[in-house]
Structure 1
């Protein structure tokens, strides 16, 4: 089977549609040009690359905590989309149920944007997410994950690790934060998005210096707990990114079709309930 025909679930992308959903004027960074990714443009990308479903992540850029654009896209998606929202720390169990009814499966925590201290009072929300069977999606970089390990180990919440944990490549796989990430595999509640290589690689595509980290993540979590994602439409990219080469890179990293079936769709179907 041609790789373009292999069914895929993109587990991290954003919808950016300022013509229909104007940006929050209080948000400093407002995507423009090729960073715009409307639902219609997303439909075209999905059709070309064999993407049947997608996990839409609420971006801090442009919209902040206003999830309206994402929720509208999910509602119009005929079951193809689920979402990870930015959720207020004081959200109640009823608030979470209402979001679940709209296709939201988890809450996005992004210390790479907000810093670690912003989340110092997040534990009550994490407990409510656990009670609701929802995910906490965590995007950290460098050593930031170390501030969250005890929380994630202590509360039985399901966890999505964004963009391979965004380790510091120069420090190798033995750096404390990356080793702490690998140890989270023991909880059987943590899954990892093998994505975002451009965010932590020190080399251009195909990001060869990230390979030891990818290999270590697959060894620890197995492909039953790893998933593929593009990060489309590549907000704040420092150099050109394209969807096709990222699909090709997955083939290079995982030449076995059965392995790719887990990475591209199997894990996401099981975790998020895509039909």
Structure 2
């Protein structure tokens, strides 16, 4: 049984980052350190996610994938007008999807010929689009991308904000939109969410909502290592333990750690 951590970041504090980044790191998170975390927790594979402060320069992450010799895949950030040829080249480098990090950004209009063209290329490649945005954005984007028929991966349980009512209208509308034919969701980053003060109880509440929506076969787990901006509050082992406290059924946990991510990422 191969197991997968589907969400981590690598970066070097001495790299050039984009202007006006919301956050830039003051330390380095290396691929060797991440692989050591995987080994310590007996995980076979990992997925690296492009951090926002690199913009569309995916080179550091792709170098890390190459160094890992088959243990890692990558989700990149690109401009919507990227060509099919460029995406095909990325495919040879272990890339399996693109990410939209929309915090601090307006909701993009994806009902355009440009996005139609891009989503059709992604479908041909077998890639997905990963969305990192507030739940209110998802109410707009999930129906729009569903019209394109492309797989969507939702970061961090939909990112309910600190203090947001999980039984409130917005979050419940988001849950109701989830479709196991098109959508995947990451059980990750609980310390960033509405559940920060009681991660286990809150995580279980959302987990039960997802199961009731028929999403058990579409949930994957991610450590969110190295926990940027929360490094002093949590660590890899704590997030690993959280998974076990939230998902107590061993068969369900095996599905989340192995069956689901191997299908999604092609390990």
Same fold (TM over 0.5): yes
Q: Is the 8 A contact 2:160 2:171 kept in 1?
A: yes
Of 47, 54, 68, which aligns to 2:59?
A: 68
Deviation at 1:222, TM superposition (A): 3.4
2:86 maps to which residue? Answer: 95
What's 1:252 paired with?
A: 245
Q: Distance in 1 between matches of 2:203 and 2:247?
A: 14
The 8 Å contact of residues 190 and 196 in structure 2, kept in 1 or not, is answered as: no
Residue range with higher mean Cα deviation, 152-161 or 171-180: 171-180
Matched, 1:43 2:35: yes
Aligned twin of 1:32: 26
What do residues 16-48 of structure 1 show as CA deviations (whole Å, max 9, x unaligned)?
1235xx122525332014xx3111211221111
Instruction: Determine the structure 2 residue equivalent to 1:272.
Output: 265
Pick one of 201, 209, 213 that aligns with 2:206: 213
Determine helix, strand or coil for the equivalent of 1:51. Answer: coil
- 8 Å contact 1:75–1:102 — kept in the other structure? yes
Correspondence for 1:172 = 166
Find the counterpart in structure 1 of residue 220 from structure 2: 227
Distance 1:113 1:103, change over 3 A: farther
Query: Counterparts of 1:178 and 1:128 in 2: how far apart (Å)?
Result: 32
Identify which of 5, 9, 32 aligns with 2:4. 9
Query: Any conservation in 1 of the 2:156–2:187 contact (CA below 8 Å)?
Result: yes
Instruction: Tell me by how many angstroms 1:240 deviates.
Output: 1.2
CA contact (8 A) 1:173 1:212 kept: no
Structure 2 gap ranges (5+): none
In the TM superposition, residue 103 of structure 1 has moved relative to its aligned partner by 0.8
Please say if residues 204 and 247 of structure 2, whose CA atoms lie closer than 8 Å, have aligned partners that are also in contact.
no
Matching residue of 2:140: 147
Distance in 2 separating the partners of 1:82 and 1:113: 27
Q: Report if aligned partners of 1:83, 1:105 keep a CA contact under 8 Å in 2.
A: yes
**Closer, same or farther in 2 for the Cα pair 1:235/1:221, shift >3 Å?**
farther
Structure 1 residue 106, shift from structure 2 partner? 0.6
Q: Which of 143-152 and 86-95 deviates more?
A: 143-152
The TM-score with structure 1 as length reference comes to 0.87
- Offset, 1:203: 3.7
1:185 aligns with 2:179: yes
Match for residue 199 of structure 1? 192
